Amino acid sequence: MMDLFGHAELDRLLQANASWCVSVYLPTHRRAGETPEDLILWKNLLREAENQLLARNVRTDDARKMLQPARLLAQDQHFWVHCDDGLAAFLAPEFHCWYRVPEPFQPLVVVNQRFHVTPLLPLVTQDQRFYLLALAQNHVAFYRGDRTGLTPVEVERLPQNMDEALRWDTPDATLQAHTGQPGPRSKKTAVFHGQGGLPDAEKRNLADFCNAVARAVDKFLADKNEPLLVVSVTGLFAAYQEAAAYAHLHPEPLSGNPARMSRHELHRAAWEVVQKILAQQQQEILADIAAKLASPLVSLDPREVLLAALDGRVDTVVLARGKHLWGTYDPQQRQVQLLDGPDASPKAEDLLDAIAVETYRRRGRVLVVDGSQVPGPEEGQNMLAARFRYAVQQTPVS
């Protein structure tokens, strides 16, 4: 079971305003039955959260009241037998929420004046919306998709099957062959000739069917730029590809008969392809940053990157998964101070999380990757790398 976590949920956490906010992350197990190790870890992390609150001079009664909803959750057996890969919980005075998500977190407790969200960011910033066309002669359906699943979309004049498409636009049956009008890609529309394979009339019917589907889909996607995936048999996809004009049509079909696939099966097949697209895009970004390490458009200095994020200058920041950099910063005075750890100051916070949040708020891209993938001179030792939207004359950072 996965709880919905997207932009709206992330924005809700970022808008929380409280004297103290508690963020708890832990790995959980996908299985029915008892999960004693998950519950034991949960209780231990809540105990650590209470100790951190007390260390920040929060009254004992107030700390326990804040954590009480989470402690009551430990008694909800139904909740714990329907977990996913990870659990993220957020508690503050008069506020609490938690999410079961497909992200295997490292155990972590952060007590701060805002919620710690970096472990959840990949679910939002490294997601990809897409469209999926299920195309078969007896079944046509159209979906909007993302990491969480597929949602059916109504498309005007989209035929539900080939018979319906041919009733709308039946070709002249007396023609043995014909030349189509120039298509949207400035080439002929899909027309089949010759004696081999299917009879000419059936080939024309398939072409007319795909043309009708493509016209409806292209019109719907006219102002979109998300990938369009098609699940279909290879021959039918080739006819659709010939007729379609959408620039972001994925060049290979998802094999299978969509009429016999459940929505879950369709999503699983599509998301595997989308993940490959995302991985390729990420590798291109990392390679570009690595190539510009010596330029003023890239920085590995967290102090410089944080101030640039506050200015809205960070295009992309790459963070090492599971790394923390404790310190304080004053946006008005433009001062950043690094600390030895979270206990070095009551105002200490994870500056990597602050960089991620400020970048996200200003529409920058946040990538959370394994430490070995972060560009830098010392492989595996770099905590972050940022690419700027534009360079400025560098000034000393406090």
Strand partners, 150: 145
Residue 255 confidence (pLDDT): 86
Domain identity same for 254 and 275: yes
Say whether 231 sits in a helix, a strand or coil. strand
Q: Predicted confidence band at 152 (pLDDT cuts at 50, 70, 90)?
A: very high
Is the full-model pTM beyond 0.85? Answer: no
Q: What is the pLDDT of residues 269-278, one digit of tens each?
A: 999 999 999 9
Indicate if 218 and 243 belong to the same structural domain. yes
394 pLDDT band (50/70/90 cuts)?
A: low
Which of 305-309, 341-345, 353-357, 362-366 shows the lowest per-residue confidence on average (mean pLDDT)?
341-345
- Of the candidates 97, 118, 139, which is a domain's last residue? 118
Please classify residue 132 by burial: count the beta carbons closer than 10 Å to its beta carbon, then call 0-12 exposed, 13-18 middle and 19+ buried. buried
Which residue, of 279, 310, 343, is where some domain finishes? 279
11-41: pLDDT as tens digits: 999 998 888 999 999 999 886 545 689 999 9
Count of domains observed in the chain? 3
The tokens of 344 are what? Answer: 């070095």
Count the residues in the chain: 398
Asked if the structure places residue 396 within a domain, the reply is no
Q: Which pLDDT belongs to residue 170?
A: 53
Same domain, 100 and 74: yes
What pLDDT digit, counting tens, does each position of 96-127 carry? 999 999 889 999 999 999 999 999 999 998 88
* Contact status, residue 88 vs residue 24, Cβ threshold 8 Å: yes
- Are both 217 and 317 inside the same structural domain? no
Task: Evaluate whether 138 touches 132 at the Cβ level (below 8 Å).
Answer: no
What's the CATH code of the domain at 383? Answer: 3.30.1330
What average pLDDT does the chain have? 89
Residue 246 has pLDDT above 50, yes or no: yes
Does a structural domain hold residue 287? no
- Report how far residue 367's alpha carbon sits from residue 153's, in angstroms, rounded to the nearest whole number: 30
Domain harbouring 226, CATH code: 3.30.420
CA distance 177 to 168: 20
**Which residue range(s) make up the domain with 351?**
292-388
pLDDT band at 319; cut points 50, 70, 90: very high
Query: Taking a C-beta distance cutoff of 8 angstroms, is the pair 88, 105 a contact?
Result: yes
306 and 229, same domain (yes or no): no
**Same domain, yes or no: 45 and 154:** no
Residue in this structure with the two tokens 């079961």, named with its chain if needed: 100
Q: What are the tokens at 252?
A: 């290979």
**Cβ–Cβ < 8 Å for 145, 271:** yes
Are 140 and 231 in contact, with CB atoms under 8 Å apart? no
Angle at 311 between CA 309 and CA 314, to 5 degrees: 40
pLDDT digits 0-9 by tens, 167-176: 876 544 333 3
